[in-house]
A and B are shown apart, each in its own frame.
Chain A
Amino acid sequence: MSATASAGPVTAPRRPSAFRMLMKDTGAAIALVFVVLIVLAAVFAPWLAPKDPYETDLMSIMSPPSADYWFGTDGQGRDIFARTLYGLQVTLFMGLTSLIIGGVLGALVGFLAAYYKRLDGLLMRFMDILLSFPAILFGLALAAIFGPGLTSVIIALSIATIPLMARIVRGAAVVVMGLDYIEAARAVGMTDKRIMLRHLAPNCLSPIFVFATLRLGQVILLGSALSFLGLGAQPPVAELGAMASQGRNFLFIAPHISVVPSIAIFAVVLAFNVLGDALRDALDPRLRI
């Protein structure tokens, strides 16, 4: 008994996990650590911030970075370090929400288009139409309808994300649809919904993850741009794009007011881009050795 158990079946060696592949890439490891830090900083901003981000100190307006104010103060004497932490929170919330809304809807469209070939032309042409509007235009239109604010920005970025995600997902799903196991699943009498959920979707996850990570960087950049233009977060809300915008009048006398949030945006976007790229390499089985 024990002899047969210890012999065991011959099994193929496990492939290295995607996570391990990711950690082999130094740049990606740094990006991942940085992303984790950013997320932690954003989530715990209320505890980490040394001062209230909305408290004005009229005695020290536009003071440069010092021991008291690590990143200096802005035009109203508010602590930029605290505002950057809260800004990260708002920015990440905006980015993630629009990515999730747009991503889920886009993925749904992509799966439907790949699964029901009849719908393919109609759905994807509609996506092409959406794709021909710049995200900024959606932002302008929505700000005109609902008034400027975070909600408008989130809706605009969601809509702008839908066609991109739909294309990525459709491309991946069409390939999977051609594989025999989809037909095998049909041949055992599974429902369309079940086949899509259990067989189609799990096999399209890696391009979805890669795209989502890369897109998060873009969405944050776009959202900050909309806020910079005054269509997004309204003062006094601490949002990185809006903070950069508020400092632009003082660029020559107190550059840190604009520069600090700009660097924050840059670093966040860069980290997500590097991570997305590395994720693509790690998840692509052809690049695995």
Chain B
Amino acid sequence: MTLLSVENLVTSFKTSAGEVRAVDGVSIAVERGQTLGIVGESGCGKSVLSLSIMQLLAHPGRVVEGKVLLEGRNLLDLSARQMRAVRGREIAMIFQEPMTSLNPVHSIGYQITEAMRAHEPSLSAAELRNRAVAVLDRVRIPSAARRFDEYPHQLSGGMRQRVMIAMALACKPKLLIADEPTTALDVTVQAQILELLRELQAENGMGIILITHDLGVIAEMADRVSVMYAGRVVERSSSAELFDDPQHPYTLGLLGSIPRVDEEKDRLTAIEGAVPPPFAWPPGCRFAPRCPFSIEACTQAPPALREVAPDHAAACLEAPL
């Protein structure tokens, strides 16, 4: 059975400017031991998607349609209490900013044991401590036993992100949602963290949803990729296929805007224009106004995601390109 499958999810925010569908009919699937990359620019709805899966949306955000199936169980049907038991225990999450994701007033050990205590209240203090030290060890924090009593401000950014990962892994979740886990870190630390995530995945076979705007990270980590634009998935394929043969003009644009060392290029090509704000999304294909391939029909109705090659789908009338 698929570990997590999200079907036709719609998340809407009721604002004074009207109803805004930040996520509009998104379907994704993750298998055990697999990494799904979700790529997109800021504001494309990728973070809202992850918060919708966790049901951590802040008021006035609300999931209005669709299903979030974790091993076949629809999370949207769960009560608040049942959902709390899922968070941390079955699905865990790590965030972009390791500098602010840890509470400055508690020691890191305390924060990790708290994550465990939320799900296994019967554990003794000594046992909690042992387990927390073991988890810190697993995320390769040197002299973990001593670090246990340190406070977040005593750690570097990379170390803090390791602590965040330790917190997320404390209860051995089946799925880890990593929302831009390396964006705030410098490049060498970035590589270490990604390497760590890969090792941990190999150890316990968890599924990972990796949300990022960095195609380099995707290329390194993801087995499958979903490209999001303006609240929708516009392309879906295996990671290798996506980089080899992108089928949506937006993906093409994204790939064209990365510098490469092996190619002579005077200027990087940028995608013309900007992502339209959610309350001003065009009626047809949302990428049409910025698309070099757009034709009359693109502005009529939103194109459906369709198979253009085996196991490779794109939401574009012109595909295959």
Contacts and interface: CB of A to CB of B under 8 A. Distances in A.
B89 A189 contact: yes
Nearest to B101: A180
Interface string B59-79: 100000000000000000000
Interface string A1-28: 0001000110110000000000000000
B114 A190 contact: yes
Contact of A198 (B84, B114, B171): B114
A158 to B, nearest CB: 28
A179 interface: yes
Contact of B118 (A4, A8, A12, A194): A194
A189 B146 contact: no
Given A12-B153, A203-B103, A183 B56 contact: yes
Q: What is the predominant secondary structure among interface residues of chain B facing chain A?
A: loop
B85 A189 contact: yes
Contact of B87 (A11, A189, A203): A189
Given A118-B59, A186-B87, A9 B146 contact: yes
B2 interface: no
Interface string A85-128: 00000000000000000000000000000000110000000000
A189 B119 contact: yes
A189 B100 contact: no
Contact of B93 (A118, A187, A194, A199): A187
Contacts of A198: 106, 114
B143 interface: yes
Given A12-B154, A187-B56, A181 B101 contact: yes
A183 B47 CA distance: 13
A191 interface: yes
Range for the number of chain B residues in contact with chain A? 35 or more
A184 interface: yes
Contacts of A187: 54, 56, 87-88, 92-93, 95, 168
B114 A184 contact: no
Interface centre among A185, A187, A202 (most CB of B within 10 A): A187
A183 B94 CA distance: 10
Contacts of B306: none
B234 interface: no
Nearest to A205: B105
Contacts of B54: 186-187
A253 interface: no
A175 to B, nearest CB: 12
Contacts of A129: none
Interface in B151-167: 153-154, 164, 167
Nearest to B93: A187
B119 A181 contact: no
A188 interface: yes
Contacts of A11: 150, 154
23 contacts: A8-B146, A117-B58, A180-B97, A181-B101, A181-B102, A183-B95, A184-B101, A186-B54, A187-B54, A187-B88, A187-B168, A188-B88, A188-B92, A188-B167, A188-B168, A189-B87, A190-B84, A190-B88, A190-B115, A191-B118, A194-B118, A202-B106, A203-B104
Given A4-B143, A187-B88, 17 more contacts: A9-B146, A11-B150, A117-B58, A180-B95, A181-B104, A187-B95, A188-B114, A188-B167, A188-B171, A189-B85, A189-B86, A189-B87, A189-B119, A190-B84, A198-B114, A202-B103, A203-B104
